[in-house]
Amino acid sequence: MKKRIGLLYGGKSAEHEVSLATALAVTKALNFSDYEVYPIYITEEGEWQRGARLEGPADDIAQLQHGDGTGEPNDISAFLPADSGEALDVVIPLLHGPNGEDGTVQGLLEVLNIPYVGNGVLASAAGMDKVIMKQLFSVAGLNQTPYVYFIRSEWQADQDGWLDRVERELAWPVFVKPANLGSSVGISKAEDRTELAAAVREALKFDRKVIVEQGVAGREIEIAVLGNDEPETSVAGEIKPMGGFYDYDAKYKDGDTALIVPAELDEEIYSRLAEDAKRAFKILDCSGLVRADFFVTAENEVMINEVNTMPGFTPYSMFPLMWQESGLAYPDLIERLISLALERHREKQQLQSRRG
């Protein structure tokens, strides 16, 4: 029997367009003789719209933006396809950022008991908050740049105190980030106190929690991790943003960020990165996939920057490119993620929920 797949994409997020491009590519990669594909489109306003069952790969993004017109915010009936009468076998959430990559949608799917691709509630939530993530990394003994963090009210109560503390504990330049976002939104680099204060004000527009990190001068190297209990790592890739840092425009607009796969690295450095990527995967209790992002300095110091629990997933994104180069083509990667999702769900069904 064909598996019924729900493709969940779009979303109220800076990465809405990227998500649409990913969904289009995924429909092109899926084997329609094995799957029935049900599109679930979340509009930029947050309405959930059921699309008609796809008979084959979508022709273009516009086709994926047509729902049945009955969508409402968080309308979970989108997971119960009207024309099949049966629940979905698995959902592929192709969403990034808050409300998609942060555990909320994953929690909804848990409650509905529908298998889904990728990370669960805990890993997604922990991976979305850069402070929590870094605290866990340090428990795992991973090397990372020093940082300071605070919430809005703490900042407002003692701005000079925080500026002093940053100056005392970190070296310039620093990177200021909203704790919970992605796509480099709200992130700025500050070279002195004045710039720092402005950068904090900017970051506070996006979150009540802000992290200030010491800047690292190094190459940006990434590794893809795939699996559940025994995750595997891909070859490494390098990103080379052409102007300044890897900000929102460099990621999605300029197109002049070079992606180098495989990255040129000593075998020994690669092993350290692969080892650390798996440790990051485990400490966050990840499942399915994660992309671990590192800095490698000129002195060969390896520092973890972050993990992405739902990394960019178009065929031209780092995660699929790194697997491609490791011998796993895009359609096979998707197959693999679906089986990992089903495996994890099966395992969960076998757990007892009470004594007896």
Ligand X SMILES: Nc1ncnc2c1ncn2[C@@H]1O[C@H](COP(=O)(O)OP(=O)(O)O)[C@@H](O)[C@H]1O
User: Measured from the CB atom, is 217 or 351 closer to ligand X?
Assistant: 217
Q: Which sign, positive or negative, has the C-alpha torsion 317, 318, 320, 324?
A: positive
38 binds ligand X (CB under 6 A): no
Rounded to the nearest angstrom, the gap between the alpha carbon of residue 350 and the centroid of all alpha carbons in its chain is 28
For residue 10, give both structure tokens.
């779009």
User: Measured from the CB atom, is 28 or 189 closer to ligand X?
Assistant: 189
190 binds ligand X (CB under 6 A): no
220 binds ligand X (CB under 6 A): yes
49 binds ligand X (CB under 6 A): no
The helix (run of H) or strand (run of E) holding residue 57 is none
What is the total residue count of the chain?
356
Contact residue for ligand X among 246, 270, 294, 330 (CB under 6 A):
246
Are the CB atoms for 233 and 224 separated by under 8 Å? yes
User: Measured from the CB atom, is 234 or 309 closer to ligand X?
Assistant: 309
Q: Which amino acid is at 95?
A: L
Residue nearest to ligand X (CB): 246
245 binds ligand X (CB under 6 A): yes
Contact residue for ligand X among 46, 57, 107, 215 (CB under 6 A):
215
Are the CB atoms for 309 and 127 separated by under 8 Å? yes
User: Measured from the CB atom, is 175 or 319 closer to ligand X?
Assistant: 175
187 binds ligand X (CB under 6 A): yes
User: Measured from the CB atom, is 207 or 293 closer to ligand X?
Assistant: 293
Q: Which amino acid is at 66?
A: H
The Cα 302–Cα 279 span in angstroms is 14
Q: Which residues of 25-39 are buried (b: 16+ CB within 10 A; e: fewer)?
A: bbbebbeeeebbbbb
Smallest separation, CB 165 to ligand X (Å):
17
User: Measured from the CB atom, is 187 or 302 closer to ligand X?
Assistant: 187
The Cα 278–Cα 342 span in angstroms is 21
182 binds ligand X (CB under 6 A): yes
Smallest separation, CB 129 to ligand X (Å):
11
89 binds ligand X (CB under 6 A): no
Q: CB 340: neighbour CB atoms within 10 A?
A: 20
User: Which residues have CB under 8 Å from 213's CB, separation 6+?
Assistant: 145, 146, 147, 170, 174, 175, 176, 177
User: Where in 137-176 is the site for ligand X (CB under 6 A)?
Assistant: 145, 175
Task: Find the part of the chain contacting ligand X (CB under 6 A) among 19-27, 132-140, 196-204, 211-219.
Answer: 211-219
Rounded to the nearest angstrom, the gap between the alpha carbon of residue 148 and the centroid of all alpha carbons in its chain is 23
129 binds ligand X (CB under 6 A): no
Chain residues in the site for ligand X (CB under 6 A): 145, 175, 177, 182-184, 187, 213, 215-216, 220, 241, 245-246, 293, 305-306
